Structure 1
């Protein structure tokens, strides 16, 4: 992929996924602007490319700031959102609901500034929850905006993402903007915080938590997808999808929390004497994995990183950037902070 000379805005570009996308776009030759309110994003996430990008700080729900941020852009990657791990989206539904206003403000600003292409970071949480109790691979056509009862998203966060997809399709229809949505499935990697599953488990293991706490029975599955596979999917979607439709970005494997823990324990060379399965905690749906047929056919995309390779890279980053004594002291706060 070549984005040489293109002016590209990444909203939420100082965040976990956003900062990796910014790095990939810079490497592909893009002239990148980051718009972020730094509520969860960090300047240090952009250290590697700081001298090569423009950063504007503000609230993208403010129409004036959104117009300023999108002005003069050739593409927009819209990743900004109020979000967190399962505990966060369960505890703060009103915060997540504000994403609907955010998305519409960004799309309207981009359309009125004649931005030709918009790619939206959607979520696997947009899928109906009732079909995720068994191991049923999730296909894009399992959501329909045209069929009665065609949607049943996962908590307020999922409904907001689904409404973002619908809104972007409307802007495509009315303004002719090339549009795409990427349904992200359980991304993980360096720079993610401890409120998300993989980093939370790493933090507990690194702190040598005893007994080791796992939410639920540990048999719930997700398709944990390494962050650079996600950013590649976003860039390919921006190149190849124009009609506002959605595509999955996730591994097609059902990986249990217990399996993730075993990989982490092996990589750290430590394992707990006892595991406390906390079945009273929110765990979301029972099983989730992506059908990647559409991504393969339209984008030529398949995930490149195995779970073992991704966890090794992430764990190397984590132990390099976190002091064990600090993680032990602040563990409970870290697990619930955005």
Structure 2
């Protein structure tokens, strides 16, 4: 088990929702943390708690010079930077998502040139074949294969880009002997997430008292909503325990319908709409998604610590404190569609 005390660590995308939580975790464990972010979706405010304890570089990691600067003198790279958003975003902006393939390889190449010891890549459940998610079938890491014909069938361009990010990192591990770990993140949510993702979108709509309340699809599609602190712990554990680029799931094994998630939010806010409008013409993604966490338990000693109910309460507490109701009401459509 690696001690992070005095380890020089780079978190790309460190001002983002997940990245900022990881930065806090690493600082708590004694690491010297550098953040590289272009602040296209990340916010400086997300780093307020640790601002005086970290180094922050503002720039675009698709530019070789900046990637070189960011990785110089670094022991471990946590690579979270990506062009991404919720289901609506990845459906509408496939070319933006495709640029992640360039971003990933520039970061890996710069890291290799600068003698980085270890790279941990934040991948996604979108790497899994979409056709096996029509029924409730927990996703195992070996359901994606680069060795079998037809072994990959990712979810939209974003999923393919993440899958190529995995394969590229494995190639760098093979050629440069860099320790590599990959974490497939499943439906993360929590404080600092924006309103383009389902849980916080539901919170925004309920906070604004949207009525009829809009749910994309019929509300019976499921996700394994996983609290952000469980995700960041899995990323850290993977870097500590995996060196050969073996992918590991970070998600809960429970199927939670959109309707159930909304019910938890209504209950906590003590409010519900008179009518729900199920928008079946909107993108809703795969039908069912939950993680098989056997490999994470075996390789990392990891399992989720937060229930969905507890995580939603914590996230709602943050949202109500962070957002003004009148502002959300006036800007709801913009918040829901711009990352």
Shared fold (TM-score greater than 0.5)?
Answer: yes
What is the match of residue 233 of structure 2? 232
* Residue 2 of structure 1: how far off its partner (Å): 3.4
* Residue 297 of structure 1: how far off its partner (Å): 0.3
Moved over 2 A (4+): none
Q: 1:220-255, CA deviations, whole angstroms, 9 ceiling, x for partnerless residues?
A: 000000000000000000000000110000000100
* Residue 333 of structure 1: how far off its partner (Å): 0.5
Gaps of 5+ in 2: none
Counting only pairs closer than 5 Å after superposition, residues 286-325 of structure 1 correspond to structure 2 as 286-325=287-326
Q: 1:120-174, CA deviations, whole angstroms, 9 ceiling, x for partnerless residues?
A: 0000000000000000000000000010000000000000000000000000000
What is the match of residue 268 of structure 1? 269
What is the match of residue 335 of structure 1? 336
Gaps of 5+ in 1: none
Counting only pairs closer than 5 Å after superposition, residues 107-122 of structure 1 correspond to structure 2 as 107-122=108-123
Q: TM-score, normalised by structure 2?
A: 0.99
Determine the C-alpha separation between the residues in 2 that align with 1:116 and 1:224.
Answer: 32
Counting only pairs closer than 5 Å after superposition, residues 175-324 of structure 1 correspond to structure 2 as 175-324=176-325
Q: 1:36-70, CA deviations, whole angstroms, 9 ceiling, x for partnerless residues?
A: 00000100000000000000010000111101100
Which SS does the other structure have where 1:245 is aligned? strand
Determine the C-alpha separation between the residues in 1 that align with 2:267 and 2:205.
Answer: 14
Determine the C-alpha separation between the residues in 2 that align with 1:138 and 1:336.
Answer: 29
Which SS does the other structure have where 1:41 is aligned? coil
* 2:20 aligned with 1:16: no
Determine the C-alpha separation between the residues in 1 that align with 2:198 and 2:74.
Answer: 35
What is the match of residue 146 of structure 1? 147
What is the match of residue 128 of structure 1? 129
What is the match of residue 327 of structure 2? 326
Determine the C-alpha separation between the residues in 1 that align with 2:276 and 2:222.
Answer: 18
What is the match of residue 104 of structure 1? 105
What is the match of residue 45 of structure 1? 46
Determine the C-alpha separation between the residues in 1 that align with 2:144 and 2:308.
Answer: 28
Determine the C-alpha separation between the residues in 1 that align with 2:227 and 2:31.
Answer: 23
